[in-house]
């Protein structure tokens, strides 16, 4: 693929499906919350919200499964090594499945440690345990989905990644409605729906992967447990894991510092964090394309193309960041007023809006 011209339009068109997938990714938790919310059980709503947060923390900490697969698949593809491309996928799937099985085996201490971080009452804690106990069985499939998403992105097949994400959300929504309203399974029902949807998503991903590999011709993969390949995989993922822990620590510190300042400050800052999430949906998409394109150029040892990939993705990302900053400045106040009616929370959020609006521009280079 390295012989195809790399243009701004090509980069932009690859970015769009990733933005769509990024927006669709958090919808599983929102669907669970919406379905259980319509049961009218306040404690159940709180439990699903808390359980969703627990799984977001667990899964986000392993985001390197996606990023590592993207970089290594792109480099192998650029180098014209179809066997290495296959090996990257298989190693990533084995690693993801291993972590998923560890989560299942360690579900009790993980669950109790997570609950210890929050001040949940007995009823909410019991429902949260029911949620985590059911949803944890989808962990191997969920993490394998990260690897598949990264591998497809590394090969430039971002449209297929978006299709898989949409299919996952549709399956989750349909199963959640059936399990809660049809079978009356409550909190465990929405969690079980999420777990089953993850496995159905992985089955569909297997079909997509088979089609991709068939289109690329027959090629025997490298030895899956080749020492050099495994060392490289773990070296890349180690660095990404440390980066993710630092990011999570930053968010934890920010929320904890906000809480020490009072509930109003925490509420106001929680609204401002939505701007960070929106920025991530957009800028992460450019980052994914940058990983894939620079990785492919590096694999092909095409240094002119690597520089062009770096320049084009950076230009477009900075352009997107500028548009985000302008949108936050123009529409930010209206968004804050719509998000909360509490005067103190509004005042807190509005007082820091300008600083928050600058985050996309300041943060674009890190993405």
Neighbours of 57 (CB within 10 A): 15
Least confident window among 17-21, 149-153, 172-176, 196-200: 17-21
Print the domain residue range for 310. Answer: 262-367
With bands split at pLDDT 50, 70 and 90, how would you rate the model's confidence at 84? confident
pLDDT at 102 over 90: yes
| 236 and 273, same domain (yes or no) | no
pLDDT of 224 reads 79
CA 143, 144, 149: angle at the middle one, nearest 5?
100
| 273 and 209, same domain (yes or no) | no
Q: Which structure tokens are listed for 307? A: 């520089």
| 235 and 266, same domain (yes or no) | no
The answer to whether residues 70 and 147 touch, using CB atoms and an 8 Å cutoff, is: no
What CA–CA distance (Å, rounded) separates 348 from 272? 9
3-state SS of 199-221? HHHHHHHHHHHHHHHHHCCCCCC
Q: Per the structure, how many domains does the chain have? A: 2
Q: Is residue 251 part of a domain?
A: no
CA distances from 349 to 108, 269, 276 (A): 38, 6, 13
The answer to whether residues 164 and 153 touch, using CB atoms and an 8 Å cutoff, is: no
CA 20, 24, 27: angle at the middle one, nearest 5?
165
Q: Is residue 8 part of a domain?
A: no
| 267 and 228, same domain (yes or no) | no
The residue with greater pLDDT, 225 or 361, is: 361
pLDDT of 325 reads 94
| 222 and 280, same domain (yes or no) | no
Threshold 0.85, pTM exceeds: no
pLDDT at 269 over 80: no
Q: Is residue 191 part of a domain?
A: yes
Q: Work out the average pLDDT over 52-70.
A: 83
The answer to whether residues 59 and 243 touch, using CB atoms and an 8 Å cutoff, is: no
pLDDT of 1 reads 42
| 234 and 274, same domain (yes or no) | no
Least confident window among 147-151, 159-163, 263-267, 284-288: 263-267
pLDDT of 51 reads 79
Neighbours of 331 (CB within 10 A): 11
User: Mean pLDDT score of the chain, rounded to an integer?
Assistant: 84
- Those residues with Cβ within 8 angstroms of residue 93's Cβ, 6 or more apart along the chain or in another chain: 144, 147, 148
Q: Is residue 200 part of a domain?
A: yes
The answer to whether residues 296 and 1 touch, using CB atoms and an 8 Å cutoff, is: yes
Last residue of a domain, one of 185, 206, 240: 240
- Those residues with Cβ within 8 angstroms of residue 97's Cβ, 6 or more apart along the chain or in another chain: 140, 143, 144
Q: Is residue 245 part of a domain?
A: no
pLDDT of 2 reads 42
pLDDT at 331 over 50: yes
pLDDT of 18 reads 82
pLDDT of 89 reads 93
Instruction: Name the residue among 25, 92, 24 with its Cα closest to residue 55.
Output: 25
Enter the DSSP assignment of 137: G
| 183 and 279, same domain (yes or no) | no
Q: Is residue 195 part of a domain?
A: yes
Q: Work out the average pLDDT over 18-32.
A: 71
With bands split at pLDDT 50, 70 and 90, how would you rate the model's confidence at 43? low
With bands split at pLDDT 50, 70 and 90, how would you rate the model's confidence at 3? low
Q: Is residue 147 part of a domain?
A: yes
Reported as a single tens digit per residue, the pLDDT across 341-359 is 778 878 888 988 999 899 9
Give me the percent of the chain exceeding a pLDDT of 90.
Answer: 28
Task: Kindly write down the DSSP assignment for every residue of 29-71, as one continuous string.
Answer: HHHHHHHHHTTT-HHHHHHHHHHHHHHHHHHHTTTHHHHHHHH
Q: Is residue 7 part of a domain?
A: no
What CA–CA distance (Å, rounded) separates 190 from 170? 13
The answer to whether residues 137 and 155 touch, using CB atoms and an 8 Å cutoff, is: no
pLDDT at 105 over 90: yes
Q: Work out the average pLDDT over 242-266.
A: 76
Last residue of a domain, one of 210, 240, 270: 240
With bands split at pLDDT 50, 70 and 90, how would you rate the model's confidence at 97? very high
The answer to whether residues 100 and 79 touch, using CB atoms and an 8 Å cutoff, is: no
| 218 and 270, same domain (yes or no) | no
Reported as a single tens digit per residue, the pLDDT across 194-223 is 999 999 999 999 999 999 998 887 777 777
Considering Cα of 74, then 79, then 83, then 84, what sign does the dihedral take?
negative
Least confident window among 42-51, 145-154, 226-235: 42-51
| 91 and 235, same domain (yes or no) | yes
pLDDT at 40 over 60: no
CA 225, 55, 114: angle at the middle one, nearest 5?
110
| 88 and 224, same domain (yes or no) | yes
Phi-psi region of 186 (alpha: psi -120 to 50; beta: other; left: phi over 0): left
Last residue of a domain, one of 240, 274, 290: 240
| 133 and 271, same domain (yes or no) | no
The answer to whether residues 87 and 307 touch, using CB atoms and an 8 Å cutoff, is: no
| 153 and 90, same domain (yes or no) | yes
């Amino acid at each position: 693929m390295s012989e195809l011209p790399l243009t701004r339009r090509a980069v932009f068109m690859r970015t769009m499906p990733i933005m769509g997938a990024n927006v669709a990714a958090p919808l599983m938790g929102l669907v669970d919350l919406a379905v259980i919310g319509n049961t009218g059980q306040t404690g159940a709503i709180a439990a699903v919200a808390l359980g969703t947060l627990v799984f977001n923390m667990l899964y986000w900490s392993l985001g390197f499964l996606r990023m590592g697969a993207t970089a290594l698949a792109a480099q192998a593809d650029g180098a014209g090594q179809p066997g290495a491309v296959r090996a990257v996928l298989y190693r990533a799937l084995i690693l993801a499945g291993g972590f998923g099985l560890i989560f299942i085996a360690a579900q009790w201490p993980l669950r109790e440690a997570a609950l210890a971080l929050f001040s949940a009452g007995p009823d909410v804690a019991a429902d949260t345990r029911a949620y985590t106990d059911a949803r944890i069985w989808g962990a191997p499939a969920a993490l394998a989905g990260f690897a598949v998403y990264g591998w497809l992105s590394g090969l430039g097949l971002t449209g297929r990644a978006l299709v898989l994400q949409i299919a996952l959300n549709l399956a989750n929504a349909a199963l959640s409605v059936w399990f809660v309203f049809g079978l009356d399974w409550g909190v465990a029902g929405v969690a079980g729906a999420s777990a089953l949807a993850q496995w159905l998503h992985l089955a569909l991903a297997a079909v997509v992967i088979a089609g991709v590999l068939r289109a690329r011709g027959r090629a025997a993969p490298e030895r899956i447990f080749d020492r050099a390949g495994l060392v490289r995989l773990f070296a890349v993922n180690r660095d990404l894991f440390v980066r993710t822990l630092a990011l999570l620590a930053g968010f934890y510190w920010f929320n904890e510092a906000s809480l020490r300042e009072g509930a109003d400050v925490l509420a106001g800052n929680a609204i401002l964090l939505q701007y960070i999430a929106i920025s991530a949906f957009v800028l992460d998409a450019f980052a994914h394309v940058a990983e894939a394109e620079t990785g492919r150029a590096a694999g092909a040892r095409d240094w002119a193309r690597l520089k062009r990939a770096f320049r084009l993705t950076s230009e477009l990302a900075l352009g997107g960041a500028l548009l985000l900053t302008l949108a936050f400045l123009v529409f930010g106040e209206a968004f804050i007023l719509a998000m909360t009616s509490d005067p103190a929370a509004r005042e807190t959020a509005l007082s820091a809006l300008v600083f928050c609006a600058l985050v996309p521009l300041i943060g674009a280079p890190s993405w």
